[in-house]
């Protein structure tokens, strides 16, 4: 027979053990909660903040970048009636030529802006609007040195003209999106897009007589024959340049005359028919590089090497020196030994693009400039009074 006392003792022991376990679990959970509670509260608060941010989220708007076709379509609708086709015939072969242009309002009078090479040596010039209406045009003024021309239409009614707004190109940056509208290969009203690939380029054309067109905008937008003279636009639909040239057999390497050049010259071309404010130093040269520096035994690999100085020109009067020796480097012949221009008025000149752009944008005939040159491996300053560029040989 079981002992009641022993049975009660066992039960009491079991109760104590269970009680101890429960107290331990409660105490452990309580202390764990006390330790983790701040972190739990922090995480809950973070979740609430995140939910609130998601509910209040608004996409960031950037007026300089358009990522949808609707915006581009709106820009096209805004400008398409302002872009025209320019046609004419060459002499004596009577071949038809074709280019682009756009409408511009100058002091209440309407004109067509285009490239000079589009209308150079061309007769029977006509301008056709997007609605198909065509009118005879005459050249009001031109400047071959920047490949710019202004046309005037005598018989077109005012209702035909829908002018574009021209803004300064000085705010452009490499990477900015741009739009070109024109008539490539006669495909009227074509639109392409791209970016500004580089600024401050200089290019040469046959009509410039060996002088380079300065401060040119390099673009990636595909342009082709027939685009010449059409507007280069920013993503607000304003003109920042005029498409003018491509690199043959390239893909996406085009050039545009900057709008600052247009704005500077338009009053002259309309009111006087020409522009004669291009400064001139009276010299020719080439970009420096490592191989030329090595051949000349100089310790500078940048700058613009003077190869030839025009007799009695500003450079010769200032005492600048041209090359003295002809050498062959990698199959090319160079005239070396002349002064190397490395700065103008304290602005570093890395190459001919820098030189041309500085003279074009910051000087006028008659200005006095300080050239920093390298001669016999020594830096020195030379004072030069700029002359006026001779008329183009056209």
Per-residue pLDDT tens over the stretch 237-262: 999 999 998 877 677 899 999 999 99
Given CATH 2.40.10.10, say whether it is the number of domain 177-256: yes
Asked if 228 is an active-site residue, the reply is yes
Q: Name the band, by pLDDT with cuts 50, 70 and 90, for residue 43.
A: low
Q: How close are the terminal C-alpha atoms of the chain, in Å?
A: 137
Distance CA 237, CA 178 (A): 9
Residue 18 is predicted with a pLDDT of: 47
∠ CA 39-40-41, nearest 5°, is: 90
Distance CA 247, CA 165 (A): 28
DSSP state of 165: P
Residue 48 pLDDT > 70: no
- Give the residue from 232, 210, 209, 231 showing the smallest Cα distance to 219: 232
Per-residue pLDDT tens over the stretch 309-368: 999 999 999 999 999 999 999 889 999 999 999 999 999 999 999 999 999 999 999 999
Residue 326 is predicted with a pLDDT of: 94
Residue 42 pLDDT > 80: no
Residue 3 pLDDT > 60: no
Q: Which of 228, 259, 279, 357 is catalytic?
A: 228
More confident residue, 138 or 30: 138
- 350: CB partners within 8 A, 6+ apart: 302, 303
- Give the residue from 125, 116, 252 showing the smallest Cα distance to 178: 252
- Give the residue from 207, 184, 193 showing the smallest Cα distance to 85: 184
Check: CB of residue 104 under 8 Å from CB of residue 113: yes
Q: Name the band, by pLDDT with cuts 50, 70 and 90, for residue 22.
A: low
Tell me the whole-structure pTM to 2 decimals. 0.78
Q: Which of 82, 100, 143, 147 is catalytic?
A: 147
Q: Cite the DSSP H helix spans in the chain.
A: 4-56, 69-79, 116-119, 259-271, 290-296, 314-317, 352-362
Given CATH 3.90.1150.10, say whether it is the number of domain 279-388: no
361 phi, psi to nearest 5 deg: -90, -25
Distance CA 132, CA 185 (A): 17
- Give the residue from 126, 343, 112, 141 showing the smallest Cα distance to 229: 112
Please confirm whether the linkage preceding 92 is cis (ω < 30° from 0): yes
More confident residue, 204 or 152: 152
Per-residue pLDDT tens over the stretch 93-144: 889 999 999 999 999 999 999 999 999 999 999 999 999 999 999 999 999 9
Residue 139 is predicted with a pLDDT of: 97
Determine the 3-state secondary structure of 127 from DSSP.
strand
More confident residue, 239 or 40: 239
CB-count exposure of residue 151 (10 Å: 0-12, 13-18, 19+): buried
Domain ranges of the chain: 177-256, 279-388
Check: CB of residue 342 under 8 Å from CB of residue 333: no
Q: Which of 82, 117, 190, 279 is catalytic?
A: 117
């Amino acid at each position: 027979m079981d002992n009641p006392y022993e049975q009660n003792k066992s039960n009491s022991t079991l109760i104590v053990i269970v009680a101890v376990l429960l107290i331990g679990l409660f105490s452990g959970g309580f202390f764990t909660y006390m330790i983790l509670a701040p972190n739990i509260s922090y995480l809950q608060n973070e979740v609430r903040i995140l939910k609130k941010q998601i509910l209040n989220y608004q996409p960031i708007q950037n007026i300089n970048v358009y990522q949808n076709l609707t915006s581009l379509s709106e820009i096209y609708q805004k400008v398409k009636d302002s872009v025209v086709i320019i046609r004419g015939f060459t002499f004596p072969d009577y071949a038809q030529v074709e280019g682009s242009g756009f409408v511009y309002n100058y002091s209440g009078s309407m004109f067509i802006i285009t490239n000079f090479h589009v209308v150079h040596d061309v007769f029977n010039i006509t301008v056709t609007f997007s609605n198909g209406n065509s009118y005879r045009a005459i050249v009001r003024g031109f400047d071959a040195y920047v490949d710019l021309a202004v046309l005037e239409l005598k018989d077109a009614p005012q209702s035909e003209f829908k002018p574009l707004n021209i803004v300064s190109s000085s705010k452009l940056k490499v990477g900015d999106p741009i739009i070109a509208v024109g008539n490539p290969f006669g495909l009227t009203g074509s639109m392409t897009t791209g970016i500004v690939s580089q600024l401050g380029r200089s290019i040469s054309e046959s009509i410039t007589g060996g002088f380079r067109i300065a401060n040119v905008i390099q673009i990636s937008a595909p342009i082709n024959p027939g685009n010449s003279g059409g507007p280069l636009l920013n993503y607000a639909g304003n003109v920042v340049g005029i498409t003018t040239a491509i690199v043959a057999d390239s893909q996406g390497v085009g050039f545009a005359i900057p709008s600052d050049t247009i704005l500077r010259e338009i009053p002259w071309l309309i009111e006087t028919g020409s522009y004669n404010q291009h400064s001139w130093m009276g010299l020719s040269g080439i970009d420096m590089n490592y191989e030329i520096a090595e051949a000349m035994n100089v310790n500078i690999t940048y700058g613009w090497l003077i190869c030839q100085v025009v007799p009695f020109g500003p450079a010769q009067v200032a005492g600048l020196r041209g090359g003295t020796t002809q050498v062959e480097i990698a199959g090319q012949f160079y005239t070396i030994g002349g002064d190397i221009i490395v700065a103008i008025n304290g602005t570093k000149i890395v190459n001919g693009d820098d030189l041309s752009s500085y003279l074009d944008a910051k000087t006028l005939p008659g200005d006095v400039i300080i050239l920093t040159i390298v001669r016999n491996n020594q830096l020195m300053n030379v004072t030069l009074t700029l002359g006026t560029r001779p008329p183009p040989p056209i």
